[in-house]
Amino acid sequence: MHGMTQGDHDPGHEYEHEHEHEHEHSELGAMDLRVRALESLLAAKGWIDPAALDAIVDAYQTRIGPRNGARVVARAWVDPAYRDWLRRDATAAIASLGFSGRQGEHMVVVENTPDTHHLVVCTLCSCYPWPVLGLPPTWYKSAPYRARAVRDPRGVLADFGVVLPESTAIRVWDSTAEIRYLVLPMRPPGSEGLSEDALADLVTRDSMIGTGLPRSPSPA
Amino acid sequence: MTMSYHSHADLGGREGCGHVVPEPEGELWHAAWEPRAMALTVAAGATGAWNIDMSRAARETLPAYARLSYYEIWIHALERLLRERGVLHDDELADADADADADRPRPGSPPPPRLLRAADVPAVLARGAPTERPAPGPARFAPGRRVRLRTGAVPHHTRLPGYARGRVGVVESLHGAHVFADTHAQGQGEQPQWLYTVVFDGGELWGGATGAQRLRVSIDAWEPYLESA
């Protein structure tokens, strides 16, 4: 990140020894062993059920991800009453489509307009609306995003290849408590005749965080 | 409680962190151990042996925080929470051969308050852990009020980011009363407090240069973080 190379570390850090130790096995091998050992110990002690871990992984690989949020957005694009419900009580409106719970207990939806573009971050950790977007991408949890999103959001958007008009104001939402935010992007031009399913296919994860825009419909 | 508390996780506004590296939507994991680490953390948290604010405190005070990947942070903090509660003992992990000696006698460990069973996973995830509570009294600030965010060092876990401390913003909305992270993290109970969205002009936070970005930033702040301005 700062042009440092292996062996170029600052030796003054107390965690250096542990870090170097992990490199002896290579980072991945060491963590593989560590997590496996922890899981088997906790199973032996009766603290976890390995089958529950399988069920959790399966849920976030197959059921709980950004396609859920895309359904919410597509519904809001075609149904003004639903959009209004999202404004008044996003938690209930989203739950009506079957998406609720862990890390989405208290939802707020923020709507992009030509005047204002919304961007969501968690500068303090990695708070993210899991029921509608699933697990956060690595960059969302990374120092560059968390550091810059609140200070230089146009620079962050440039990293994603997004350039907004100068006239568009930016509103950044730092998720510092248990409210979780979902961006409702603007419906792309040329999507007028599309079905709700086809509209959902235009909605990207990044467009619901605010670091991207929805896809444009491909010409028929 | 130790005399000082330092979070390594309060990154908002820090300079020199480099560029953001986007990744494709379907890219969930970057190593084989990551899904197990995620699920282990979720399942262990579901025992109720600690709360989410305690686990955030355990993560953000890891000395190696800045060096670790996010799921590494989760695992290091999970081990720490388990050690603090006598569930893991020194050297137990180093000795543990994943497959071999499951029947070897182990140092005593307390039972978990609850065990998350596979059959209960969908319902537990769908329910989550709502934090809204009955209000302790009337809210002190109404939408439109100017407020200054508390300043000064906080000797415990808090959710007031450094960049907002001492800054003046405007109350935009109220979200009801919620479990107060500061006391919850310290084992001092939920002590629900009114929760507000407070919005700042970019210029108030970063000076004139970023005002040119036509930027506004909001945080969610519990009432004890706020004073009249």
User: What digits encode the pLDDT tens for the residues A53-104?
Assistant: 999 999 999 999 999 999 999 999 999 999 999 999 999 999 999 999 999 9
Does residue B145 or residue A14 have the better pLDDT? B145
Does the structure show a pLDDT above 70 at B123? yes
Q: What percentage of chain B has pLDDT greater than the value 70?
A: 91
CA atoms of B225 and B151, how far apart (whole Å): 9
What pLDDT band is residue B54 in, cutting at 50, 70 and 90? very high
- Mean pLDDT, range A153-163, rounded to an integer: 97
| Beta bridge mates, B200 | B217
Does the structure show a pLDDT above 50 at B47? yes
CA atoms of A91 and A160, how far apart (whole Å): 29
Does residue A33 or residue B90 have the better pLDDT? A33
Residue B144 counted as domain residue = yes
The pLDDT of residue A10: 37
Of B20, B118, B220, the CB nearest to A159: B20
The pLDDT of residue B90: 80
Residues B101 and B170 in one domain: no
Residue B20 counted as domain residue = no
Of B127, B155, B176, which one is at a domain's C-terminal end? B127
Considering the domain delimited by A65-209, tell me its CATH architecture. Answer: Alpha-Beta Complex (3.90)
Each domain of chain A, given as residue ranges in start order, spans: 16-48, 65-209
Tokens (6 digits) for B54: 């305690």
Known catalytic residue at A125? yes
- Mean pLDDT, range B155-171, rounded to an integer: 98
Q: Is A43 helix (H, G, I), strand (E, B) or coil?
A: helix
Does the structure show a pLDDT above 60 at B18? yes
Q: A15 and B63: CB-CB below 8 Å?
A: yes
Task: List the one residue out of B72, B23, B127 whose CA is nearest residue A31.
Answer: B72
Please provide the average confidence, as pLDDT, over all residues in chain A.
90
CA atoms of B40 and A57, how far apart (whole Å): 10
Residues B120 and B136 in one domain: no
- Mean pLDDT, range B7-20, rounded to an integer: 96
E-assigned strand segments in chain A: 106-111, 116-121, 169-174, 179-184
What is the per-residue DSSP string for B127-162? H----EE--SS--S--TT-EEEE--S--SS-----G
Known catalytic residue at A142? no
Q: Chain A: nearest CA to B186, how far in angstroms? A: 16
CA atoms of A49 and A193, how far apart (whole Å): 49
| Beta bridge mates, A172 | A119, B217
Residues B102 and B140 in one domain: no
Residues B45 and B118 in one domain: yes
Please provide the average confidence, as pLDDT, over all residues in chain B.
92
Tokens (6 digits) for A82: 């639903």
Q: What percentage of chain A has pLDDT greater than the value 70?
A: 87
Amino acid at B160: L
Residue B29 counted as domain residue = no
Tokens (6 digits) for B221: 């702040």
The pLDDT of residue A85: 98
Residue the block writes with tokens 């005070």: B61
Tokens (6 digits) for B128: 């989550």
Does the structure show a pLDDT above 60 at A141? yes
Q: B39 and A56: CB-CB below 8 Å?
A: yes
Q: Chain B: nearest CA to A96, how far in angstroms? A: 12
- Out of A90-94, B80-84, B86-90, B112-116, which region has the weakest mean confidence (pLDDT)? B86-90
Residue B5 counted as domain residue = no
What ipTM did this prediction achieve?
A: 0.94
Residue B177 counted as domain residue = yes
What pLDDT band is residue B165 in, cutting at 50, 70 and 90? very high
Task: List the one residue out of A206, A120, A46, A38 whose CA is nearest residue B38.
Answer: A38
Of B86, B107, B127, which one is at a domain's C-terminal end? B127
Residue the block writes with tokens 């008044």: A88
The pLDDT of residue B108: 79
Known catalytic residue at A122? yes
Of A46, A139, A146, the CB nearest to B12: A146
Residue the block writes with tokens 């953001």: B20
The whole domain housing B70 covers 34-127
Residues B224 and B153 in one domain: yes
What pLDDT band is residue B199 in, cutting at 50, 70 and 90? very high
Residue B27 counted as domain residue = no
CA atoms of A40 and B63, how far apart (whole Å): 26
Residues B167 and B105 in one domain: no
Q: Chain A: nearest CA to B174, how far in angstroms? A: 11
Task: List the one residue out of A123, A124, A132 whose CA is nearest residue A183.
Answer: A132
Does the structure show a pLDDT above 70 at A13? no
CATH number for the domain spanning B179: value is: 2.30.30.50
Contact B15/A at CB under 8 A:
yes
Q: B128 and A100: CB-CB below 8 Å?
A: yes
Q: Where are the alpha helices (DSSP H) in chain B?
A: 34-45, 52-60, 70-84, 92-95, 121-127, 181-185, 202-206, 208-211
- Mean pLDDT, range A132-144, rounded to an integer: 98
Q: B20 and A145: CB-CB below 8 Å?
A: yes
Contact B87, B109 (CB under 8 A): yes
> Based on the structure, what is the number of domains in chain B?
2
Does the structure show a pLDDT above 90 at A219? no
Residue the block writes with tokens 């959710």: B159
CA atoms of A55 and A31, how far apart (whole Å): 22
Distances (CA, A) of A205 to A81, A134, A215, A216, B153: 24, 10, 11, 14, 37
Does the structure show a pLDDT above 60 at A9? no
Q: B205 and A104: CB-CB below 8 Å?
A: no
Of B89, B111, B127, which one is at a domain's C-terminal end? B127
> Which is it for the CA torsion A50, A56, A59, A65, positive or negative?
negative
CA atoms of B176 and B192, how far apart (whole Å): 9
Residue B4 counted as domain residue = no
Does the structure show a pLDDT above 50 at A216? yes
Contact B209/A at CB under 8 A:
no
Residues B141 and B215 in one domain: yes
The pLDDT of residue A220: 58
Does the structure show a pLDDT above 60 at B104? no
Q: A177 and B175: CB-CB below 8 Å?
A: yes
CB pairs under 8 A between A and B: 293
Of A31, A45, A105, the CB nearest to B129: A105
Of B30, B33, B130, the CB nearest to A138: B30
Residue the block writes with tokens 């996780």: B9
Q: Which pLDDT tens digit goes with each residue over A191-206?
A: 999 999 999 999 999 9
